[in-house]
C-alpha cells in the first residue's frame, strides 16, 4: 500500500484540541482560554512604502497598484560573514523499493567527484514506505546504511530526510493502535539506534518530514500541482472538514461564545482555480479580515503549528545529544503573494497576509527547539513570473529569511527546480546574501538533485564554480543597501508609518 501525503484526518489525529498552560515567557492570545506554547518576541517597526528589491519593475502593467508585501527588518548582528557549504540531494530512487542501494559503483564515482568539487555532503531521503514496508515496526535500513557508509568513506557528510510522505509501498497504519506521531517517533528512534555510530560524525543533519512533500503545511492542493504552470491561480482548499478538525473548531468556537463560527470552514472561499477577487472570503475587502475570518485563520494555522510542535518535540527528544542538527521545511507558496489576503498561503496553513506575518511564528517555533529552517525559491526571480502579476517568489523568500534572522535560527536554502543555468546560480548567490551577509547563524545550500545532467561538462563547470563561490566567505561580504534592511509593508498607494501592535503579532492560535 502506498503511503500518501498526510491527509486532513492524519494531521487532525495528531492535533486533538488541547489546552496549554501559559509558558514562562509566553503571552495570552486574545481568544479566551487559548495559550501560546511558543514565547512571542515582537519584531520592530513596520513601515509602509513603495515596492523594492525585486526583479520586476515597480511601475507599469506587471504589478497592480495594490501590491502588498510584509517584511521584517534586519536585527542587529555583528557582521561576521561565513561561507555557505553546499550539499547535493540524491535522486528519490537511490534506494529501490526492496531497500537496496542502486548503482553502487556509479554512486561511488559520483561521490568522489562531488568531494573533489568541494561539496560538503549529500542529502538522502529515507522513505518510510521503503524502510517499514514489511509491517509495523519491521525496519530495513540496509540500503541507507550502505549509502551513509559510502559517503563517509568518500569524505562527505550526510543529511538524512525523514520522508514520511509518498514513496513506495508501506504498511497500513490504521489497525496498529499508533497515532501518526507515535509511528513517526518509532521510525526516528529506530533510525537513531541503527545509525548511532554515524550520528554527529558522518550524519550531521536530519530533516523531519512534517506534511506533504515533507513541508510543514496542509495538503491544500496535491503536491504535483505546485510545480505546474497553471498554478498561477491556484487558491487551494481549506482542510478542516473531517470529524477531528470539525470537533476542534467547534470546541474553540464554543469557548469564545461564538457557536455559529464552529460549524465548518469559511463560506465563499471559492474553488481551486477561481480568481480570489471573485470570492467573498479572499477578495481585498473579504471576510478574511473580519472578526470571524481572524478567528478561523488563527485556529486553522494554530492547529498546523501544534502539529509542527509535536514533531519538533519528538525529534528533539529522540536526537538530543547525538550531535546532529534538526531541520524542518516550509513551502514556497508565492503565486498570490501580491494580494491582500494571500489565499494560497492561508489554505496551506500560513496565516500570512498584507497586514499579518505568518512565518514569524514558525521561525519562533523552530528557534524554541534549536532547529534549522529549510526553504526553496532561492533561484527564482519575480521577473520569471510575468504571466502572474501577483506572484512574488523574491518577496516571499525575503520575508521568510528575515523572520529566520530575527529569531536567530540557521537556514538551509534550496533551488525550486532542478536547473543549473547561469541566471539561476547568480540569483541563488544574490538571495543567499540576504541571510549570510548579515552575520546571522549558519547558512548552507542544497542543490536538487544529483543526476547525470549534473555531470555533463557544461553543467559541471558551472556547478563547480558555484560551489567555490558559495564556499568563499568573501562572496557574502557585499554590504546590503540600508534601505533594503528596513521592514516594509509595500503598497504603491501608501506612505505613512504604522506601529506593529501585539494583536498583529499573536501566534495564530495558541
Contact between 406 and 363 under an 8 Å Cβ cutoff? The reply is: yes
Rounded distance, CA 487 to CA 399, Å? 9
Length of the chain: 510
Q: Please calculate the CA angle 96-97-99 and round it to the nearest 5 degrees.
A: 70
Cα 361 to Cα 306, 309, 371, distances in angstroms: 11, 11, 13
Other Cβ atoms less than 10 A from the Cβ of 8: the count is: 18
Rounded distance, CA 156 to CA 247, Å? 48
State the virtual CA torsion across 173, 179, 181, 182 in degrees, nearest 10. -90
The set of catalytic residues is 215, 414
Residues sharing a CB contact under 8 Å with residue 319, sequence separation 6 or more, in sequence order: 188, 192, 199, 206, 326
User: How crowded is the C-beta side of 93, counted as CA atoms within 13 Å?
Assistant: 5
Selection from 427, 437, 357 nearest residue 405 by Cα: 437
Strand partners, 95: 101
Rounded distance, CA 118 to CA 108, Å? 16
C-alpha cell at 260: 455559529
Rounded distance, CA 48 to CA 488, Å? 6
Selection from 174, 127, 168 nearest residue 1 by Cα: 168
Angle between helices 243-255 and 291-319 (to 10 degrees): 120
Strand partners, 445: 86, 413
Selection from 307, 333, 326 nearest residue 373 by Cα: 326
Contact between 410 and 325 under an 8 Å Cβ cutoff? The reply is: yes
Rounded distance, CA 431 to CA 185, Å? 35
Residue 292 burial (CB < 10 Å; 0-12/13-18/19+)? middle
Amino acid at each position: 500500500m502506498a503511503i500518501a501525503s498526510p491527509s486532513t484526518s492524519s494531521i487532525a489525529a495528531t492535533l486533538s484540541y488541547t489546552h496549554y498552560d501559559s509558558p514562562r515567557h509566553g503571552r495570552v492570545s486574545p481568544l479566551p482560554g487559548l495559550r501560546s506554547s511558543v514565547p512571542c518576541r515582537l519584531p520592530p517597526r513596520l513601515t509602509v512604502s513603495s515596492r523594492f528589491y525585486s526583479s520586476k519593475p515597480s511601475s507599469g502593467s506587471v504589478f497592480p497598484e495594490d501590491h502588498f508585501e510584509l517584511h521584517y527588518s534586519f536585527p542587529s548582528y555583528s557582521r561576521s560573514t561565513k561561507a555557505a557549504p553546499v550539499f547535493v540531494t540524491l535522486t528519490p530512487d537511490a534506494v529501490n523499493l526492496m531497500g537496496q542501494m542502486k548503482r553502487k559503483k556509479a554512486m561511488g564515482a559520483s561521490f568522489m567527484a562531488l568531494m573533489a568539487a568541494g561539496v560538503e555532503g549529500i542529502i538522502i531521503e529515507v522513505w518510510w514506505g521503503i524502510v517499514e514496508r514489511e509491517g509495523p515496526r519491521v525496519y530495513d535500513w540496509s540500503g541507507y546504511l550502505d549509502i551513509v557508509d559510502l559517503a563517509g568513506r568518500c569524505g562527505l557528510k550526510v543529511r538524512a530526510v525523514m520522508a514520511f510522505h509518498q514513496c513506495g509501498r508501506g504498511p497500513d497504519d490504521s489497525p496498529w493502535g499508533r497515532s501518526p506521531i507515535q509511528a513517526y517517533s518509532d521510525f526516528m528512534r529506530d533510525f537513531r539506534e541503527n545509525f548511532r555510530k554515524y550520528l554527529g560524525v558522518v550524519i550531521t543533519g536530519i530533516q523531519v518530514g512534517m506534511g506533504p512533500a515533507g513541508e510543514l503545511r496542509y495538503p491544500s492542493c496535491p503536491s504535483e500541482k505546485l510545480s505546474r504552470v497553471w498554478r498561477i491561480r491556484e487558491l487551494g482548499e481549506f482542510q478542516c472538514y473531517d470529524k477531528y478538525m470539525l470537533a476542534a473548531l467547534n470546541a474553540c468556537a464554543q469557548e469564545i461564545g461564538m457557536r455559529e463560527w464552529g460549524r465548518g470552514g469559511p463560506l465563499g472561499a471559492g474553488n481551486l482555480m477561481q480568481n480570489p477577487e471573485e470570492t467573498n472570503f479572499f477578495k481585498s475587502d473579504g471576510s478574511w479580515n473580519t472578526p470571524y475570518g481572524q478567528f478561523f485563520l488563527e485556529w486553522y494555522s494554530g492547529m498546523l503549528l501544534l502539529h509542527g510542535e509535536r514533531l519538533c518535540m519528538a525529534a528533539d527528544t529522540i536526537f538530543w545529544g547525538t550531535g546532529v542538527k534538526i531541520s524542518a521545511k516550509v513551502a514556497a507558496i508565492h503565486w498570490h503573494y501580491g494580494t491582500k489576503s494571500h489565499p494560497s498561503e492561508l489554505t496551506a496553513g500560513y496565516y500570512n497576509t498584507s497586514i499579518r506575518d505568518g512565518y514569524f511564528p514558525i521561525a519562533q517555533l523552530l528557534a524554541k527547539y534549536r532547529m534549522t529552517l529549510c526553504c526553496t525559491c532561492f533561484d527564482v526571480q519575480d521577473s520569471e513570473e510575468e504571466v502572474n502579476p501577483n506572484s512574488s517568489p523574491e518577496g516571499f523568500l525575503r520575508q521568510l529569511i528575515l523572520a529566520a534572522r530575527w529569531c536567530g535560527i540557521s537556514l538551509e536554502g534550496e533551488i525550486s527546480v532542478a536547473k543549473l543555468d547561469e541566471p539561476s546560480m547568480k540569483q541563488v548567490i544574490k538571495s543567499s546574501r540576504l541571510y549570510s551577509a548579515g552575520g546571522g547563524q549558519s547558512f548552507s545550500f542544497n542543490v536538487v538533485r544529483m543526476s547525470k545532467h549534473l555531470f555533463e561538462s557544461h553543467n559541471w563547470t558551472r556547478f563547480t564554480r558555484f560551489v567555490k563561490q558559495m564556499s568563499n566567505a568573501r562572496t557574502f561580504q557585499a554590504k546590503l543597501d540600508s534601505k533594503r534592511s528596513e521592514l516594509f509593508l509595500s503598497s504603491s498607494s501608501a506612505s505613512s508609518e504604522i506601529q506593529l501592535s501585539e494583536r498583529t503579532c499573536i501566534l495564530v492560535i495558541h
